[in-house]
Chain A
């Protein structure tokens, strides 16, 4: 049985900021406007650009280009270190604007959001969504900054709205409906579709699918059994026809990842970084009132031709939950003890198996040591809340060569205020 294109009107709007971080820097510093600008998490020649301005992109600089190479590609290239506070502020302003249009609106990441207008017809009173989109563009210029522009796509589901927003960058606006959907597919390549990367493309090629139209015409059975070999095939079949498949899940993991400024194979130095990361994760768990049973340690090593793998990870589900920094650290050390001794360049800690934290509500008769640790953790958190992150930290952490400053996360916004 085949399913036709969703006949519903396009009522989902996807809005994303053009080259978000670079444009925010160009907004802040008027002298950077019209110039090739890149943003990096670390200011050195080996660092990579996490965003490039349109002027830099026009000269071949893209996400992932090394700063040294970007300087050669784009004369006059200006590289800046990411400024998370600035991007979070722009994010909060965008969120304010979006939520003023519909109760079903949310940010998908730092720089993109969704407004769902389903059921809003009595309020819109026949006003076309393209008119609303033009108003949003103007409000972004008025309320965030006169140099800021957004791409807006409108579609029957969130995925098609995202496709629409990607079509005419920068400052684009496009609506995809049941009448032009196949025309849109005809003018795109597979990797132009959101969530289809080169690896996915290869998988599609192996199944004889070379264009979005061919993907659209592939049966649900083939997509599920042969191409994606999972429920994803069913989801792709639906989303290509304009049916909603994206469901928001609650928080399932809390973690921290970090690329080391100073790579190390020194267990003492690494233990310091591990402790710092565990403290950060503990702060995040406390903020959401959670504890975690599971812990995963994920490490990446510098290239070594004699070794088959450059990544090592280990996870363990414990019987009891942990939420304090010292508890997480003890567990992380247990996992780290089984790691091969190599030069580490990346450290990731993820807690999972989350559940509401058990707080000690009354002093224990038998476990006074535990109560003391809770009081200490609480006191440290209070000092850090007042004076800033890691204002109070163990001496070993302070003396570390790796500062572990907060960096702007790719995509994720769950730890934002």
Chain B
């Protein structure tokens, strides 16, 4: 089941240098008072909105998967979607 959320969340992430670029990996997500630890990383992809480049990270924790966005200007993380395994 897919739930559209669109709420700002707290994310613990690492920034590491990789092939002359920076690789960002989220590790822990705090949402509605609960902590979710990244277990399987899915995909990173950017999305252009006007002249902004939003960074999108998809990953799963247990039977829940998340789609989060990082706004590079405000550095705010947003939880966009949550998928619950039926």
Whether B37 sits at the interface, judged by CB under 8 Å, is no
The interface size bin for chain B is 20 to 34
Interface contact B83-A31, CB-CB below 8 Å:
yes
Partner of A28, one of B43, B64, B85: B43
Which residues of B have CB within 8 Å of A385? 50-51
Which residues of A have CB within 8 Å of B65? 29-32
For window 1-38 of B, CB contacts with A under 8 Å fall at: 2
Interface contact A29-B46, CB-CB below 8 Å:
no
- Beta-carbon contacts of B31-65 to A below 8 Å, as 1s and 0s? 00000000010110111111100001011100111
Specify the main secondary structure of chain B where it touches its partner: strand
Partner of A89, one of B46, B49, B67, B86: B46
The chain B residue sitting closest to A43, CB to CB, is B2
Cα A24 to Cα B58 in complex, Å, equals 11
Specify the main secondary structure of chain A where it touches its partner: helix
State the interface size on chain A (CB cutoff 8 A).
Answer: 21
A81 to chain B, nearest CB (A): 10
Cα A59 to Cα B40 in complex, Å, equals 27
Interface contact B50-A27, CB-CB below 8 Å:
no
Given contacts A31-B83, A76-B86, contact A85 B51 (CB under 8 A): no
Interface contact A391-B50, CB-CB below 8 Å:
yes
Which residues of A have CB within 8 Å of B60? 29-31
Chain B residues proximal to chain A, CB less than 8 Å = 2, 40, 42-43, 45-51, 56, 58-60, 63-65, 67, 83, 85-86
Q: Which 3 A-B pairs have the closest CB atoms?
A: A89-B45, A85-B47, A28-B43
13 interchain pairs, CB-CB under 8 A: A27-B42, A28-B67, A29-B58, A29-B65, A30-B42, A31-B64, A76-B86, A86-B45, A89-B45, A145-B43, A385-B51, A391-B50, A417-B48
Given contacts A29-B58, A29-B65, A30-B40, 16 further A-B contacts (CB under 8 A): A24-B43, A27-B43, A28-B43, A29-B83, A30-B42, A30-B59, A31-B60, A31-B63, A32-B83, A85-B47, A86-B56, A90-B45, A145-B43, A385-B50, A391-B50, A417-B48
